[in-house]
Amino acid sequence: MLVISACCIQPVNAQKKSGKTSDDPLSKEKIEAAITEAYNLYKNDTEGKNADYIKELANVDPNIFGIALITADGKIYTRGDVSSMVSIQSVSKVFTMAKVIEEQGHQAIQDKIGVDATGMRFNSIIAVELQKGKEINPLVNPGAIASSSLISGQDSVAKWKNILDIQSAFAGRPLTVNWPVYVSEAGDNLRNQAIAHLLLAYNRMYFDPVQSTDLYTKQCAINVNAKDLATMAATLANGGVNPVTKMKVVSPETVMYTLPVMATAGLYDDSGIWFYNSGLPAKSGVGGGLLAVCPGKFGIAVVSPPLDAAGNSVKAQKSIRYIIEKLQVNPYLIQPK
């Protein structure tokens, strides 16, 4: 006689508990374990040094090290110092570019600035000259200055308000400028001014070159911490809706055209190396911040000022790559069916 114990029979729905399961690579436990391991693994890493071509950046505490990960549904995970402020620097280029795409459409960026990687230094004048002002991209200095000139607004005051507003909307809080950093950069800004005037000569500057350069310099001096940067990345990961404030910042279509530029030109000369090893669009800044976007899943950011020779945070690269591998979220890790 066959006897079936009732305790062995469970409704199918009973096996599907709400929330993440232990098999989910993005469960709370696995995320916390991954960022804790990364933090402990690299917190004593002494490789790299602060940027010193901007005096104020050289004076930033090199021991600042914080990791923040924010999921597309707004869950926040942090380790280390995620409250200390650094200047956003080149990370800001992403969000000004996104604002221009949102206002004018993706074709405007492609036609008026370009979206190809230049293969040269981020502040290269030769790149502008060789291309006659064409086919640069918004994540290197010439393209970023051109992006600032394209932001809507009748004068520099209105344009600046739009730039600061979009950066703040992505971060989910009002951001402010680090004025000592701004003054330090503005006082030694001849190269960027030269780039802006060269772009003007090639009809690739869409507002006064001196004022556009100043707008760009000011946006680079905005203060952020690791949590701010992770929120900005998570907003991109969530299709343009800030998962913390629930506010729509840009459209999904804008995100769709923003992420590929990050993938090809987000980490200066090492953009290809980064993407080869991580598979995630990212952007770094010489202030020590680095953010990466796992589309549909999360945004992650690390702040640590010491940089490698390419100008990217050493600890940030190592930590984020470790977490990506640990959580197995590289989009190109495809399991056969």
Q: How far is CA 158 from the centre of its chain?
A: 24
pLDDT of residue 2 exceeding 90: no
Q: What b/e string do you get for 95-131 counting C-beta neighbours within 10 Å, with b at 16 or more?
A: bbbbbbbbeeebeebbebbbbebbebebebbebbeeb
pLDDT confidence band for 24 (50 / 70 / 90): confident
Distance CA 93, CA 113 (A): 13
Task: Tell me what the mean pLDDT of segment 166-184 comes to.
Answer: 98
Task: Tell me what the mean pLDDT of segment 194-210 comes to.
Answer: 92
pLDDT of residue 129 exceeding 60: no
Structure tokens at 300: 């992650």
Among 23-32, 55-64, 275-284, where is mean pLDDT lowest? Answer: 23-32
pLDDT of residue 3 exceeding 90: no
Per-residue pLDDT of 219-276, as tens digits, reads: 999 999 999 999 999 999 999 999 999 999 999 999 999 999 999 999 999 999 999 9
pLDDT at 49: 98
Structure tokens at 76: 């926040």
User: What is the average pLDDT score of the chain?
Assistant: 91
pLDDT confidence band for 7 (50 / 70 / 90): very low
Superfamily of segment(s) 28-327: DD-peptidase/beta-lactamase superfamily (3.40.710.10)
* Per-residue 3-state assignment (H helix, E strand, C coil) for 262-320: HHHHCCHHHHHHHHHHHCCCEEECCCCEEEEEECCCEEEEEECCCECCCCCEHHHHHHH
Please answer whether residues 121 and 150 qualify as being in contact, where contact means their C-beta atoms are separated by less than 8 angstroms: no
Q: Report the share of the chain in percent with pLDDT over 70.
A: 88
Distance CA 8, CA 13 (A): 14
pLDDT of residue 8 exceeding 50: no
pLDDT of residue 122 exceeding 70: no
The whole-model pTM stands at 0.90
Per-residue pLDDT of 82-109, as tens digits, reads: 999 999 999 999 999 999 999 999 999 9
pLDDT at 25: 82
pLDDT of residue 16 exceeding 50: no
- Amino acid at position 68, single letter: A
pLDDT confidence band for 132 (50 / 70 / 90): low
pLDDT at 289: 99
Distance CA 186, CA 129 (A): 24
